[in-house]
Each structure stands twice: as structure tokens, then as C-alpha cells.
Amino acid sequence: MPELPDTGVDDEIGSGPTATEAFEREQHEFGGVAGDSGLLQVGAIEAGPASTRRRGAGLGFGAWAAIGWMGFIILIAVLAKVGILTWGDANESFASCARKGPLADEGGAKGFLLGCDSNGRDMIPRLALGAWTSLLVAVGAVTLGFIIGGTLGLIAGFTGGKTDTILTGMFNVLLSVPVIIMALALVAFLQGASGEEGALSPEMILIIAIGVVAIPLIGRITRASSLTWAQREFVLASRAQGAKSRRIMIREVLPNVLPAMFSIALLAIGIAIVAEGALAILGVGVRPPTPSWGNMIALDRGNLFKSPHIVFEASLLIFFTVLSLNLLGDVVRARFDVREGGL
């Protein structure tokens, strides 16, 4: 078997629980959902905190940087959408700039700090507006997923019995169809349903499609959490007091499930942003000229060879946003994770 490198730090194996380390053990109850749309990240949800920082140490540099970034992005997105600060016109084409990156020395790129896309449109306002679209879709989808999936999961975990079996069965059947295909089918269906005039905007369609796909995923996670809490003694105590089930569920179990769910939500938003991107590459979703980070990448992926900056810039934004969300999700979870038993 391959030898592990000995870095010279003395061996630690088998010395029993040490007084110095404080490792957290995560409860794994479900697996991740893979998929090339980046939904592998769901597995990361269960993988434990990124750092072994001790609790109560205050938010580290990473967390603050993440908050800063998210704040920045949200601000830009809102400002761009509302029209206050647009940094140029997202739709205006400048022929001279077409396909020129920020480093192009020919005159066309002057004044365009981030270059232009293949249609000569300034990248900066497009990225800003794209932020709005991508965030809107992601947050909308996750909200939808939580409202329906979260509720169903909460009920399933708490009620148990037949209801639980049926709901879990439903989740499992829904999940046996690959996520992309579900999403594609849903988008196609919704596009047809909204007719030629487009009663539903592409963003709305995406929100519904990604949201519906998220329902069984979020449902399963919520159910697991709900199940754990429902088995605790304080629920039993509540029942012994004569409280009605629904009341217990809402007043006792839900508040305990929420913090964990909030952390999952943050991660899910990141996943949804990536999902939007994947769907855009498949040619589905927000239609140009409306920019979204995903469709900017999709549109100009053919130009990757000559003008990599387009894809690069949008990808970088996605990367940092998802990274920040993941970090924040981790931090939230580490803060609110109540250890059973241990002091």
C-alpha cells in the first residue's frame, strides 16, 4: 500500500482522545447528489466544517471576507437592477471592442476595464446585471425549495409512520431521475405552459424548475433534522402536557431545525447559482440579451480560445460568490451546531 509521507511531526495515532484537539463529528445520514452541474456540493454539506477552529473563537478572517464579498455583490446587483449605478449600458454594443479583453492594446479596449463580450457589450454592467439575475434565480429557487421541501420534510420527520414513508418514497422516486433531466424537462414544460407570449419570465421558469428539483433534496435533509429533534425528550414532554402535534412541531421542533436549515440554505444558493450556469450551457434559461453569469459563460464559450476573459470574469465571480456562501454556511453551522451529550 502507498506509504504516507512522514513529515517529521511525531506520530499521533492511537494515543487516545487528546486534551488539545477538539474535533467535531458530523452526523452523516445521507449522501451527496452528484451531477456535473456542480451538485456534488451537496455531499460537501455533510462533510464537516472546513476548519477545526475552536468554538467561540470569533469569526475568522475568512468569514468576514465572505460577508464582505456577499455584501458587495448584492449591493452591485441591486444597484444595477434598480438603475442607479449601471457603469454603462449592458446592452449597448461597441463594435470596436468586440471580443477584446482588458489587456488588448488596440484602441477598442480603452475605457472598458474588463473588456467586452463577443457582441461588443461592456462586461462591467453586464456582470453587474448578471449578478442580479443569478442571485434572483438562486435565492428564489432555494426559497421555493425550502417552503415546499422544508415543510414536507419537517412533517415527514416529525410525524413518522405512513406519512413519512409516503413522503420519503416520493422524494426517492423524484430523485431517481437525474437532476439535469428533471430540470430540463421542467423548463421545457414551463416554457410550453407559459405559451408564446411568455406569461412566465425565463427567470421565473428557472426559479420554479430549480426549485422543484431542490424540493426532494431539501426535503430529505429537513426530514433528517426534524427526525432527530422530534425524538428528543422535550418533545415527549410537550406531548405529555397535552400539546397538539402541530403546535409541537411548529413551536418546539421548527425553531431547532431552522439554524441548520439556514446553513443548508446558504450552501444551496451557491449550488443553485452553479445550476443556473449549467442549464445555461445546455441552452436553457435566461435568454440573452438579459445577462446572467451563467448565460454569459454559455454564450461566449465558443470564444474561449480567442477571448478567454469573458468566461474567466464570469467564472471568477461565480467562484468567489459560491466560495463565500460555502464559508458562511459552514460558519453558521459551526455556531449553531448543538452537541449532544458532550459538555
**Site map (CB under 8 A) of other proteins, residues 190-209, x = contact:** -xxx----------------
3-state secondary structure of 27: coil
Q: How far is CA 272 from CA 68, 86, 261, in A?
A: 21, 25, 16
Does position 228 interact with other proteins (CB under 8 A)? The reply is: no
C-alpha cell read off for 343: 459538555
Among 11, 105, 197, 233, binds other proteins (CB under 8 A): 11
Closest approach of other proteins to the CB of residue 273, in Å: 8
C-alpha cell read off for 264: 443548508
> How far apart (Å, rounded) are the C-alpha atoms in residues 95 and 101?
13
Residues near 63 by Cβ (< 8 Å), separated by ≥ 6? 327, 328, 331
14 vs 83, beta carbon nearer other proteins: 14
Does position 44 interact with other proteins (CB under 8 A)? The reply is: yes
CB 24 within 8 A of CB 48: yes
Does position 189 interact with other proteins (CB under 8 A)? The reply is: yes
Please work out the total of residues on this chain that contact other proteins, with binding judged by CB under 8 A: 82
Does position 343 interact with other proteins (CB under 8 A)? The reply is: no
Closest approach of other proteins to the CB of residue 10, in Å: 4
Select from 110-118, 227-235, 241-249, 312-320 the region that touches other proteins (CB under 8 A): 312-320
**Site map (CB under 8 A) of other proteins, residues 315-334, x = contact:** x--xxx-xx--xx-------
Closest approach of other proteins to the CB of residue 194, in Å: 9
Select from 73-81, 198-206, 223-231, 302-310 the region that touches other proteins (CB under 8 A): 302-310
**Nearest C-alpha neighbor of 251 from the set 263, 265, 235, 237:** 235
Select from 155-163, 174-182, 199-207, 221-229 the region that touches other proteins (CB under 8 A): 174-182
210 vs 253, beta carbon nearer other proteins: 210
What amino acid occupies position 49?
A: P
Q: Is 19 left (phi over 0), alpha (psi -120 to 50) or beta?
A: alpha
CB 51 within 8 A of CB 283: no
Does position 156 interact with other proteins (CB under 8 A)? The reply is: no
Does position 114 interact with other proteins (CB under 8 A)? The reply is: no
Closest approach of other proteins to the CB of residue 136, in Å: 18
> How far apart (Å, rounded) are the C-alpha atoms in residues 162 and 168?
10
Largest Cα span, the chain:
79
The DSSP call for residue 288 is T
Does position 65 interact with other proteins (CB under 8 A)? The reply is: no
Does position 277 interact with other proteins (CB under 8 A)? The reply is: yes
Compute the Cα dihedral for 187, 38, 75, 280 and give only its sign.
Answer: negative
CB 274 within 8 A of CB 36: no
Does position 46 interact with other proteins (CB under 8 A)? The reply is: yes
Among 82, 101, 103, 185, binds other proteins (CB under 8 A): 185
- The Cα angle at residue 244 between residues 242 and 250, in degrees rounded to 5: 125
CB 210 within 8 A of CB 164: no
Among 128, 217, 266, 274, binds other proteins (CB under 8 A): 274
Does position 162 interact with other proteins (CB under 8 A)? The reply is: no
Does position 17 interact with other proteins (CB under 8 A)? The reply is: yes
Select from 21-29, 132-140, 148-156, 210-218 the region that touches other proteins (CB under 8 A): 21-29
Closest approach of other proteins to the CB of residue 59, in Å: 16
